[in-house]
Structure 1
Amino acid sequence: MPRLAYASTKSSDMRYLVRVEIPDPFFLLDTGDRTTIFLDHREFGVFREQNENLAIELVLVNPFMEAAREIPGDGPAAGKLALHILRTYGVLGDAIEVPTSFPLNVADFLRAQGVRLTPTHPFVPQRLRKTNEEVAAIRESLRRTHEAFRTIETMLREAAIVGDAVEYRGASLTSEMLKCAAEEALFARDLFNIEGIIVSCGPHAAIPHHQGHGPIIPHAPIVCDIFPRHRASGYFADMTRTYVKGLPSSELARMYSAVREAQETAIAAVAPGVLGREVHEQAASVLRRLGYDVGDRGFTHGTGHGLGLDVHEEPFLNATATTELEPGHVVTVEPGLYYPERGGIRIEDVV
């Protein structure tokens, strides 16, 4: 079945397929016999110079755009261009697979012209199974990300508890200061954050995706979740550590030990043939056995997710995940415990 996509390489599917950064949306048509991308004169030369995939046919889109303007009636320019491309390549009568992110106005126009579109997810299923080169790229992103954690750890060690506050070089240490220092460490290593960094302390740490703000609290949990993308390769890292500046309470220490045991048990369960929900249940069963809640309180989220050109992608490790793990899958394992009166604990690594 022919496949049609329209996006820039901000779409991870497009980035995976063409491997050259193209900032503006473009059409990609895969007829089964060949894969063709349609670029205007601004991107044409850049792609031709940088492209290493000889299986991709490069076509200048400008003549197609001129012909598409002659199509009568109202409709989006991209819709008319898609119609002309499908007609020119002889697949107008076929059912066409498109990604679920395909622009709705283009899809509506094509369907009004009688084109049969089949939304498909995942559109590029081979992304789930990483090659050795992709695994190496993820490992490198993780290695560089670890240096940002070292920066945070150094600042916490150098900070001092003064009464009910934590001070660093004469000023109150805040989540913002730790995030800024981590950002600088990432930038120096060619990593950048799309969605920011989590450094949440005390009650904020009890909310899994709270970004964190304000002063660091002595003796309270500090959840640090860093998930940057490598600028050159495009592959993400994703790591979480939980720190305490001062002395954790006995209950907080027990929570940490429980999360660590749950993570180690889940990591040991990751293997080809295992379902994502089975890995999740391994983590959840440890926490239940140790007296913690699973569901609306305590362990409130899935155990992990796939990692690659997206920070969250398939396969998932949660209570409903039926995907069978295969060689080449890369997943995070990140159990946690969250109680408003105690704070939160999360530990995350990549398998």
Structure 2
Amino acid sequence: MDPDLSAVDARLDALDADGYLLDADGTDPNQQYLSGFDAPDPFVTLYAGGTHLLFVRSLEFGRAKRDARADTVERFVDFAYDQRLEEHGRREAAAQVRAAFLRDHDVESVAVPPRFPTGTADALREQGIEVVVDHDDAIEQARAVKTDEEIEHVRAAQRANERAMAAAEDLIRGAGVDDEGRLVHEGEVLTSERVREEIEVTLLRDGCALDETIVACGADAADPHDQGSGPLLAEEPIILDIFPRDKATKYHADMTRTFLVGEPSETIEEWFELTDRARKAAIDAVEPGVTGAEVHDAVCDVYEDAGLPTLRSDGSTETGFIHTTGHGVGLAVHEQPSVSQRGGELEPGHVITIEPGLYDPDVGGVRIEDFLVVTEDGAENLTEYPVELTAE
């Protein structure tokens, strides 16, 4: 995949910088996007018309020459690092090498993203290289508009995500209930930890991985980012939020469903219906030219019309709809664009979540999340998983 870096070119012109510089390991989404390379240790990527990589060590050199999306791949030793080290010490030698690397590519000034190592920036300035911070993060903005290939990567991750969700749902729906109202599977109390294990194992078999998964029941579900722990209970909502990364492509998916075993309370049943209605209203609002703020408003309208608080109606509320409607998904699970009160205009190629929810520690929580790609004439829902609170 060759990324469209026209936004980066425009930012370099606006900042009057010769090149764009990254200093991060391969898990950094901007680094992955610009270099097309994944390495466990930090390396430097320079974009200045072409893309140029610089490694501290030779360990990744051969693989980078073969796999990276780069015009040149170089090492510290190519810029007399050993001699500089002996004469000046580690910090000064590294600074001189980075400056020599930049000047070798006719770069005297660089733009860097807001999250950039302070030590590297200071050292470059000491070497006479001008460093200007790109507070708008042009590479993240470029990442927000996905190519057809990227959308297929996200779609593939979502299919794996749905298989994991189905495995978890089968475990929950198939559970019995003991005398204390706890779910039981094969004679053992069913816990958040056990359901997470099922999700993670299923994803691993599909070539996906994840650092954390939310399986939150009852009061835990009232905190949108509580991972959940301990026994799962009947007649309490159970929120499952799964956001895996495909290990081959590095692209994420994201989906949330709320399940309940037994009979839901009148409040939970109402909340679920309202949240599904809010989800559909937001999806219907998504098209090119609409802002993320307008999509967020569609969700708030549903909740506020039902007399429930949102952060739009009450910025200090701790119950009701207490987060934004969504975010971009790609090489990071949370990236641009924002679907929130300050969300900007949506464009074809944007991949966004729609995840309304309601929360109260005295009731629990309900959240439903799909994610969509904005198309030329509307949007396509990349989520195929059904929305059902209780088993039919």
The TM-score bracket by the shorter chain reads over 0.9
Report the TM-score when normalising by structure 2: 0.84
The percentage of counterpart residues that share the same residue type is 37
Pair 105,172 (structure 1): closer, same or farther in 2 beyond 3 Å: same
Separation (CA, whole Å) in 2 of partners of 1:331 and 1:71: 52
Separation (CA, whole Å) in 1 of partners of 2:91 and 2:25: 21
Comparing 233-242 with 156-165, greater Cα deviation is found at: 156-165
Structure 1 residue aligned with 2:235, among 215, 219, 228?
219
Pair 287,76 (structure 1): closer, same or farther in 2 beyond 3 Å: farther
- Partner amino acid for 2:114? T
Aligned to 2:126: 112
Pair 5,329 (structure 1): closer, same or farther in 2 beyond 3 Å: same
Measured after TM superposition, the shift of residue 70 of structure 1 is 7.0
**1:205-284 matched pairs, under 5 angstroms:** 205-284=221-300
Pair 86,255 (structure 1): closer, same or farther in 2 beyond 3 Å: same
Structure 1, unpaired ranges of 5+: none
| 1:302 has 2:324 as partner | yes
| 1:326 has 2:341 as partner | no
- Partner amino acid for 2:353? T
Measured after TM superposition, the shift of residue 59 of structure 1 is 2.4
Pair 337,285 (structure 1): closer, same or farther in 2 beyond 3 Å: same
Pair 217,76 (structure 1): closer, same or farther in 2 beyond 3 Å: farther
- Partner amino acid for 1:337? L
Structure 2, unpaired ranges of 5+: 1-16, 312-316, 373-392
**1:1-351 matched pairs, under 5 angstroms:** 1=17, 2-32=19-49, 34-39=50-55, 40-51=57-68, 53=69, 56-64=71-79, 65-66=81-82, 68-69=84-85, 72=88, 75=91, 77-92=93-108, 95-120=109-134, 121-124=136-139, 125-163=141-179, 164-194=181-211, 196-295=212-311, 296=317, 297-321=319-343, 323-351=344-372
Measured after TM superposition, the shift of residue 234 of structure 1 is 0.2
Separation (CA, whole Å) in 1 of partners of 2:190 and 2:111: 52
Aligned length: 344
Measured after TM superposition, the shift of residue 72 of structure 1 is 4.9
Comparing 126-135 with 154-163, greater Cα deviation is found at: 154-163
Pair 199,74 (structure 1): closer, same or farther in 2 beyond 3 Å: closer
Separation (CA, whole Å) in 1 of partners of 2:90 and 2:250: 38
1:251-273 superposed Cα distances (whole Å, 9 cap, x missing partner): 11000000000010001111111
CA contact (8 A) 2:310 2:321 kept: yes
Comparing 117-126 with 271-280, greater Cα deviation is found at: 117-126
Report the TM-score when normalising by structure 1: 0.93
Measured after TM superposition, the shift of residue 29 of structure 1 is 1.7
CA contact (8 A) 2:31 2:37 kept: no
Separation (CA, whole Å) in 2 of partners of 1:76 and 1:307: 39
Separation (CA, whole Å) in 1 of partners of 2:45 and 2:35: 9
SS at match of 1:211: coil
